[in-house]
Structure 1
Amino acid sequence: MADSPLPDYSKKGKPTLVFGRRGFTQESLHHPLGLCITKEDKIAIANSKTNEIKIFSPDGEFSASYKLNSVNLMVDDGVTAVTTDPIGNLVCSYTDGHQVQVMTANDGKHKRDVMLDTKCNFKPWGVACSSTCFYVCDRQNACIRVFAADGKHMKDIGKRGTDPGEFTDPVGIAIMPNGKLAVTDFQNNNVQIFNEQGTYCCTYGTEGSGPGEFNQPMGIAVDRTGFIAVTEWKNNRVQILDAMGNSVTCFGEQGAGDGEFFSPSGVAITKDRQIVVGDFNNNRIQVF
């Protein structure tokens, strides 16, 4: 099979689609955080304030909503991230519930919960799945939890700190085409790369607002050629890096207009390299 041609992300910045508004109706959004593209090419959104996954078509039409198992309708940190496993199930971080929930993508049927024995000492956020395990950012303990496909806790990656391979606030995670892990650290203002065994490889970025710099990096996504999209909560922008960590382009600024953000959160890249961004405080999704 021929290699995929390298994408040109330099022209991104003007959205081709904007949908969502604050509210509690089926089609509305209230503090969207993580998001992903399902196996059916739909957009799955972690609607944090109502603790549910909302599914939209690629054209922004509402399709379905799935409630997570919880006791509270209104939560501070409900579902914060969502991804898919190799067979297409939705894997969701339920932060206030101190657990990860797995549900079917076609009807939201609950399959299982994943948690630590000391479940109240686990604050899951970003989540990513490989063919054999899944990785969960634990903001409470400043590490990456690694679970087997059956939910058994296998090991941890990293510890609290500011040195290479350490975290202060790991929040987003994605798996690169070569199997390496890319992790955003909200407080250390960088992206760190680890191999599949959890060994530290390198760091991209420092604190700032220029190209190659980050201010509270949040969501992260990687395309099939290794380009990385990172949302920056405080810089109110999306930054694209190549597979070596070089900044390719940045787009966005604070505001409520098309192409502007008020705390961008989750990000995903579609098969045709559209960039889908959760706009947390504007309660909407923008597609570039």
Structure 2
Amino acid sequence: MASIIDENQNCHPLDKVAKQIEGAFDKLVQLVLSRKISLLTELNDYRNEYDKFTADMLQTEKNLEVMKQKTADTLQTINISEIEEKLHKLTLSTTSFELDFQINSHIIEQEISKLGKIIKASELIVPNYSVMKMPVVAVGKEGSGRDEFDGPRGIAYEEGSGLIFVSDNSSIKIFTSSGEFVNDFGSNELVNPWGIALNESYIYVSDRNQCSVLKYQRFNYKFLMKTGQEGSGKGEFHFPMQIAVRTDGCLFIPENKNSRISILDSELNFERFISHESVIKPVDIKFAKDKMFVLCYNIPEKVHQFNFTGDYLKCVIAYGGGATLFFCLDVANNILISNWTTNTILIYNQAGVLVCTIGKVGHGKGEFSRPYGIVTTSNARLIVSSNNNNYGLQIF
């Protein structure tokens, strides 16, 4: 694995993190190789046992057939029933073994899949923010056309396809990672789409003006259902912002005006609230392992940390650097905040230390006019949306 940090550069705050990732990856490779040998040995044992069962069955069937072909006088002196009983038992044993093998094969396949995901995760690269001065892609001029922006907000990134989903006024627009317009959807149902969350089957969108959450089919963008209205009751929202979907399909919706987080299941049924004295005007939520990070649009703006049951853990960042409505976590759990007062992207480590800034006010490449949605990718890219009349979507 290539070193992330150039040895010729001065020591960077992320050097230590990079070394930790490389060391952890090396250990993981050894564990995977060890498990590979174990799985292959186990599979070979299954193969030998299965072959033995099969050979015994074939031989017994041949013996039985030979005996049945003998003369009637000979058959009277031979106990065929014993052979038939043996064959019956072998058949049952083989059937049981095949079922057991199928179950264990499925378990092994699941384990291999998990190992693959672990390896893929370990190959994620920490972005080198110090070199992010100019975007590699800058697209999306101001306008109301399908491939133009009239107020881009939330962003979601699909790792497998590299597609970028951007909430714009009255629709969700989709671009490739090279900036090419692909499609849009939701114009018949959406008024002011804000947050976007993806899982394997569905796309969820929060609409701030309608105080609702909408659900779409993942593969064809078909509208499926909608829930919510303005209010403070169960299943009601007041300014739902950037939403997040957990691995179990549950949706977490920060309500800015209600100062709480609503949790829905994958079918948009209300489950419960998370309320805490520290959660004041929440606007964005992100997950990292078993932790939940909540950005609150208050003075000073803060990022709080909770566990999934809603227990408050700590305040990670408290800063007075200006208004912000979106943030994200990179693979090293550094916290990136899009600040639309200073028109910059702020990068903090989890100790709350500012380690880098990106951008400045303006309408050119590498400049922002109110940056909003922000996301990092597995190939160390940074994607930002902003009310920039030249480039509403920039990829660094």
Q: Is TM-score (shorter-chain normalized) higher than 0.5?
A: yes
TM-score bin, normalised by smaller chain: 0.7 to 0.9
CA distance, structure 2, for counterparts of residue 250 and residue 103 of structure 1? 36
**Do the aligned partners of 2:239 and 2:256 also contact (CA within 8 Å) in 1?**
yes
Which of 66, 79, 86 pairs up with 2:193? 79
C-alpha deviation, 1:56, in angstroms: 0.4
Larger Rg: 2
C-alpha deviation, 1:256, in angstroms: 1.0
Report % sequence identity.
Answer: 22
Which of 256, 260, 264 pairs up with 2:367? 260
CA distance, structure 1, for counterparts of residue 372 and residue 201 of structure 2? 23
C-alpha deviation, 1:223, in angstroms: 2.4
**Do the aligned partners of 1:46 and 1:52 also contact (CA within 8 Å) in 2?**
yes
- Provide the aligned length of Structure 1 versus Structure 2: 269
CA distance, structure 1, for counterparts of residue 193 and residue 209 of structure 2? 8
Whose helix proportion is higher, 1 or 2? 2
C-alpha deviation, 1:7, in angstroms: 4.1
Q: Which position in structure 2 is the counterpart of 1:220? A: 327
CA distance, structure 1, for counterparts of residue 285 and residue 356 of structure 2? 20
Q: Which position in structure 1 is the counterpart of 2:310? A: 198
Do residues 126 (structure 1) and 239 (structure 2) align? no
Q: Give the CA RMSD over aligned residues.
A: 2.1
Q: How does 1:96-107 map to 2 (within 5 A)?
A: 96-107=209-220
Which of 339, 344, 365 pairs up with 1:237? 344
- Bigger CA drift: 29-38 or 251-260? 251-260
Where relative contact order (Cα < 8 A, 6+ residues apart) is larger, the structure is 1
Which of 205, 208, 219 pairs up with 1:95? 208
Q: Which position in structure 1 is the counterpart of 2:147? A: 27
Q: How does 1:89-168 map to 2 (within 5 A)?
A: 89-115=202-228, 121-132=237-248, 133-159=250-276, 165-167=278-280
C-alpha deviation, 1:6, in angstroms: 4.5
Q: Which position in structure 1 is the counterpart of 2:165? A: 44
Whose strand proportion is higher, 1 or 2? 1
**Do the aligned partners of 1:52 and 1:79 also contact (CA within 8 Å) in 2?**
yes
Q: Which position in structure 1 is the counterpart of 2:134? A: 14
C-alpha deviation, 1:123, in angstroms: 2.1
* TM-score for the superposition, normalised by structure 1: 0.85
**Do the aligned partners of 1:70 and 1:97 also contact (CA within 8 Å) in 2?**
no
CA 1:220/1:240 → structure 2, altered by over 3 Å: closer, same or farther? same
CA distance, structure 2, for counterparts of residue 35 and residue 166 of structure 1? 23
**Do the aligned partners of 1:190 and 1:217 also contact (CA within 8 Å) in 2?**
no
- Bigger CA drift: 150-159 or 95-104? 150-159
C-alpha deviation, 1:227, in angstroms: 2.3
* TM-score for the superposition, normalised by structure 2: 0.63
**Do the aligned partners of 1:18 and 1:286 also contact (CA within 8 Å) in 2?**
yes
- Bigger CA drift: 54-63 or 274-283? 274-283
Deviations 1:29-78 (A, max 9, x none): 1100001102422000000x2x100000111000000025438xxx5xx0
AA matched with 1:228: I
